[in-house]
């Protein structure tokens, strides 16, 4: 699974800013069937469940209004509230289609719902050492037009940072997240619902006061699922941040 995400922010004065995110997803699925002893298997129902395929398209957007306050020279805190924007493609109930022997899709590109979201961040930064504490969440309140109610989610993380030189910084983080079980027409979706404990390491290089790059490696340290779910053992991210001249302070 790959995601290219653009994030735009614009300050509106006195520590307030508006943030918008627009993701584009690519999901490459390679399917192999086997018996319990590992022998290749061709299911009699064909490929109605899972297929070798590549899914591409927009994911759901996110918009927040955020406020940041500098407590002192080293500490900045902020919080934001907003909504998801249902831009991604949604699918019909795969379990209902299974009962009829009809080809279906389990992978949703979007949620089909508008849900409230929040974020909170505290950043402490001394000359060399720093600390970042953050949290964010999404509360799904309604089902979409096809009867699917996506998972709600809450995540929190914290970790230190260290400035190797004036332009290069390393950050680390441990985070804990909880996704509730999604529902189809009020019934739990067995392919959802998990708690995950993750760790990450990032390197941030500032090339100019306006341009910085980030490389991050993240892994799942432990996962507890309501059902048997895929574990994301490694997630790699790269990013660029550009701040217009005169705004980089």
Q: Using one digit for the tens of pLDDT, what is the confidence trace for 63-72?
A: 999 999 999 9
**29 domain-assigned:** no
| 160: containing domain | 72-242
The percent of residues in the chain predicted with pLDDT above 70, rounded, is 97
Q: What does residue 97 show for φ and ψ, rounded to 5 degrees?
A: -70, -35
- Domains contained in the chain, number: 1
Please indicate, yes or no, if residue 131 is contained in any of the structural domains: yes
CA separation for the pair 230, 66 (Å, rounded): 34
Q: Which distant-in-sequence residues (6+ apart) come within 8 Å of 131 by Cβ?
A: 122, 123, 124, 158, 159, 160, 161
Report pLDDT for 232. 80
Residue 228 confidence (pLDDT):
63
* Pair type for strands 235-242 and 211-225: antiparallel
Under 8 Å between Cβ of 111 and 84? yes
Backbone angles phi, psi at 94, to 5 degrees: -70, -25
- pLDDT for position 248: 45
**What 3-state class would DSSP assign to 18?**
strand
Please check whether residue 201 lies inside any domain of the structure: yes
For residues 204 and 32, which has the higher predicted lDDT (pLDDT)?
Answer: 204
Q: Is the alpha carbon torsion for 197, 151, 191, 232 positive or negative? A: negative
CATH code assigned at 104: 2.40.160
User: What backbone phi and psi angles, to 5 degrees, belong to 137?
Assistant: -160, 165
Comparing CA positions, the residue from 69, 78, 52, 59 lying closest to residue 4 is 59
pLDDT of the residue at 249: 47
Q: Which residue has the tokens 């591409």?
A: 56
Any domain includes 128: yes
Is 42 or 114 the better-scoring residue by pLDDT? Answer: 114
**pLDDT of the residue at 31:** 85
Q: Is 211 part of a structural domain of the chain? A: yes
Q: Is residue 51 part of a domain?
A: no
> Alpha-carbon distance 157 to 75, whole Å?
17
Looking at residue 246, its pLDDT comes to 57
- Does 10 reside within a domain? no
Kindly report, residue by residue over 191-225, the tens digit of the pLDDT: 889 999 999 999 999 999 899 999 999 999 999 98
**The model's pTM:** 0.84
**Does 64 fall in a domain?**
no
Average pLDDT over residues 102-110: 87
Report the C-alpha gap between 120 and 87 in whole angstroms.
Answer: 24
User: Which of the residue ranges 31-45, 143-157, 175-189 would you say has the lowest mean pLDDT?
Assistant: 31-45
Q: How crowded is residue 164: how many other Cβ atoms within 10 Å of its Cβ?
A: 12
Return the residue matching tokens 């799942």. 220
* Residue 132 DSSP class: E
How far apart are the C-alpha atoms of 165 and 67, rounded to whole Å? 29
Locate 198 and state its tokens. Answer: 């993750």
C-beta separation of 7 from 20 below 8 A: yes
Q: Which two tokens stand for residue 247?
A: 């705004």
């Amino acid at each position: 699974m790959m995601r290219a995400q653009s994030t735009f922010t614009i300050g509106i004065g006195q520590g307030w800013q508006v943030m918008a995110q627009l993701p584009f997803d690519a999901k490459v699925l390679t399917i192999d069937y086997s018996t319990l002893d590992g022998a290749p298997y061709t299911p009699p129902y064909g490929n109605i469940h899972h297929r070798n395929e590549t899914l591409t398209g927009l994911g759901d957007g996110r918009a927040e209004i955020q406020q940041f306050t500098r407590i002192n020279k080293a500490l900045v805190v902020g919080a934001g509230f907003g909504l998801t924007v249902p831009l991604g493609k949604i699918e019909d109930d795969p379990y209902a289609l299974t009962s009829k022997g009809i080809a279906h899709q389990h992978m949703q590109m979007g949620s089909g719902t508008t849900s409230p979201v929040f974020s909170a961040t505290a950043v402490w930064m001394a000359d060399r050492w720093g600390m970042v504490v953050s949290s964010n969440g999404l509360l799904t309140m309604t089902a979409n037009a096809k009867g699917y109610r996506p998972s709600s989610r809450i995540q929190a993380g914290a970790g230190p940072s260290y400035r190797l030189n004036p332009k290069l910084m390393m950050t680390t983080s441990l985070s804990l997240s909880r996704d509730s079980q999604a529902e189809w027409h009020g019934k739990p979706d067995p392919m959802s619902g998990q708690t995950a404990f993750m760790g990450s390491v990032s390197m941030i290089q500032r090339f100019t006061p306006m341009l910085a790059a980030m490389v991050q490696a993240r892994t799942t340290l432990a996962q507890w699922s309501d059902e048997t779910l895929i574990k994301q053992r490694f997630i790699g991210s790269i990013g660029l941040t550009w701040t217009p001249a005169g705004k980089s302070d």
